Amino acid sequence: MMRTSDRPSDVSQRWLLVAATSLGLSSLAAAALVLARTPVLTSLVPSDSFPRALVVHVNLATLLWYFAMASALWSETLDTGRERLARPIQLAGTAGAAGIILAGLFAPGPPVLANYVPYIDHPLFLGSLALLAFAAVATAALSLSRPRDAAEWGFAIARVPFLMAALYLIAALRQEMGLIDALWGAGHILQFGFVTLMMAIWLRLAQRAGTDGIPARTAIPLFAAASLPALIAPALLVAGIEHGTLHGLHTHIMRWANWPAPLVFGLLLLFRPRAASAVAFPASLGLYCIGIVAGTAIDDQTTLIPAHYHGTIGAFTLAQMAAVLARLTPSADAHGARGPTRRPLTLYALGTAMLICGLAWSGILGAPRKTGFSAADADPTAILAAALTGLGGAVTIAGVAFFALVAAPRIVRLCRSRTAPMPQNNQGTATMFAAAR
């Protein structure tokens, strides 16, 4: 039985709640990181708590938020049969998310600051992470259907890197690659899926602003160019490339293949009529460009690296936040209804831009990454750079917290009302976002 309602599926609504909650909780862990990098305030955070706070923040603000949000977008239009299968998968994903949070806070294992996927070396944390990843990949496979417009092609093609990352991780562990290296490789591959999702969200935001967007004959090849490099690393691994050589190839693939398609796509879209007025799209594109510029300056293990990925990741996060608020905006024929405020998006974009500038400035001065700020022997310039980082982080956290307070209660109401039809003028009415109209 095909879905006839213009409301997203119940499974999609629950994934959306997991996503918004994860992002909101990430702001608490981020607060500890910001304090640890801010002059004068560093003493408020025990030095040994920084690594664990970093693990919790990265997992909540990236993996949980991205996996859950992707699953929410993919599962909007599930038919009755597939939705029945997707419910236990979504519950497993929720259990995995809860396990990551609990283990991140309370499990006794040491924090391992692996790139992309830092973790607590404890079975509960690793098992919960595996359960969440399984649920996201299973949702991606189960919800796949024939795309009906260019944006839906983007959401469909973005599944490829998620599947490739899972296959790479399994194959790497079977070849007895170390967990840190295996997760690092899978994390590299996932970046191609994240940017492809971001491109599809950009297109849908522009369409909601009244533009026709980019024609499918142009958009689809760009979506493919963004995602298909994710096929290279798994193929090389299966072909027997030595692990050390593969590590270097990962870096080159990321350096040369991850950014051109999103940048070209974003610039083409920006100059379409009315696209510049799309909610959060120009700001997201701007953050992405700043992240690319910061990446070109990286030459050592300094805070230029987090400056780079806070730009690219911040761009994706901002686009997803805009997608959530768009989903929660009443439909056009909801007379007199008002959608949620957009102020969290403005706060987040401004704060992230300041954070990137502070991290980049600190990195140019030689500040090491993955550590708190140390005032010992710090000159005034380094203190100013660290202060800008702290201020930007504080504004970013405020934007995320504001977003969660705006979005989560509305999503809870939608989940509670799933068994009853909602009136047309209800301010909680959720409309499709990823699905074609």
- Stated as kind and residue range, the H or E segment containing 359 is helix 343-364
Angstrom distance (rounded) from CA 133 to CA 9: 21
Question: CB count, 10 Å around CB of 300?
Answer: 10
Q: Say yes or no to pLDDT of 339 above 70.
A: no
Q: Is the pLDDT of residue 170 over 80?
A: yes
Of residues 332 and 387, the one with the higher pLDDT is: 387
Question: Any idea which residue has 């944006």 for tokens?
Answer: 151
The contacts of residue 251 (CB under 8 Å, 6+ apart) are none
- The pTM (predicted TM-score) of the whole model is 0.92
Nearest C-alpha neighbor of 249 from the set 263, 237, 265? 237
Q: What is the DSSP string of 172-239?
A: HHHTT--HHHHHHHHHHHHHHHHHHHHHHHHHHHHHHTT---S-HHHHHHHHHHHHGGGGHHHHHHHT
Examine the pLDDT at 164 and tell me if it is beyond 60: yes
Distance from C-alpha of 7 to C-alpha of 5, rounded to nearest angstrom: 5
3-class state of residue 247 by DSSP? helix
- In tens, the pLDDT along 208-253 reads 999 988 999 999 999 999 999 999 999 999 999 998 899 889 888 9
Task: Copy the structure tokens of residue 252.
Answer: 């080159």
What average pLDDT does the chain have? 89
Residue 410 CA to residue 432 CA, distance in Å, equals 15
The 10s digit of each residue's pLDDT in 55-69 is 999 999 999 999 999
Q: What gap in Å lies between CA 75 and CA 142, rounded to an integer? A: 8
| Residues of the chain above pLDDT 90, percent | 69
**Contact between residue 168 and residue 229 where contact means Cβ atoms under 8 Å apart:** no
pLDDT tens track for 182-210: 999 999 999 999 999 999 999 999 999 99
| Lowest-confidence segment of 10-19, 68-77, 383-392 by average pLDDT | 383-392
Alpha helices in 41-147 (DSSP H): 50-58, 65-74, 80-106, 123-142
> For the chain, which residues make up each domain, given as ranges?
149-278
**Mean pLDDT value of segment 392-397:** 92
Which band of pLDDT confidence, cut at 50, 70 and 90, is reported for residue 331? low
Query: pLDDT (tens digit, 9 = 90+) per residue, 71-130?
Result: 999 999 999 999 999 999 999 999 999 999 999 989 999 999 988 999 999 999 999 999
